[in-house]
Amino acid sequence: HVQLVESGGASVQAGGSLRLSCSASGKAYGRNCIGWFRQAPGKEREGIATIHTVSETTQYADSVKGRFTISTDSAENTVYLQLNSLKPEDTGTYYCAAAGGRPRGDRWSNPYEYKIWGQGTQVTVS
């Protein structure tokens, strides 16, 4: 069964930190780009970071660069997103997704490039 499961969301104060986890089944994880997206109420889903599970090449949205770090543990088929210096505007539902390949250029942040999605985990910053 191909799936992604997120965890780690919570309510935190501004300036705080969280670590989100995305546990992937083998087919979703291997030789793939795994991305983190977030969606605030009334807003479009935003791509914030991606990592290739073999090369570990990463890309970030400008809005999170320097504050968030994406990483992966291939032994655990897990992708992490470390969120530091959180701001109220970081509030939203965070999703991980598997692209089924390597999106070219800026397409890494396009949700339509991703085929498999988790159920999401809520992050609230106040």
In this predicted model, what pLDDT tens digit does every residue of 23-37 receive, in sequence order? Answer: 998 788 887 899 999
For the chain, what percent of residues have pLDDT higher than 90? 85
pLDDT above 80: residue 2: no
CB neighbours of residue 5 within 10 Å? 15
The confidence band for 20, taking pLDDT boundaries of 50, 70 and 90, is very high
Residue 40 burial by Cβ neighbours in a 10 Å radius (0-12, 13-18, 19+): middle
Report how far residue 75's alpha carbon sits from residue 61's, in angstroms, rounded to the nearest whole number: 27
| Mean pLDDT within 98-126 | 93
pLDDT above 80: residue 114: yes
The confidence band for 123, taking pLDDT boundaries of 50, 70 and 90, is very high
pLDDT above 80: residue 21: yes
| Mean pLDDT within 58-87 | 96
Q: Average pLDDT of the chain?
A: 94
The predicted pLDDT at position 7 comes to: 98
